[in-house]
Amino acid sequence: MVAYAKSQVGKRYVRGGEGPGGFDCSGFTKRAYARAGYRLPHSSGAQARRARSVSRSVARPGDLVVGRGHVGIYMGDGMMIDAGNRRTGVVYRKLYRGLSVARLG
* Residue 63 is among the residues annotated as catalytic for this protein: no
* Residue 25 is among the residues annotated as catalytic for this protein: yes
* Residue 70 is among the residues annotated as catalytic for this protein: yes
Residue from 24, 42, 63, 70 carrying the catalytic annotation: 70
Distance separating alpha carbons of residues 34 and 32, to the nearest angstrom? 5
Residue from 25, 42, 63, 77 carrying the catalytic annotation: 25
Q: Which residues are catalytic?
A: 25, 70, 82
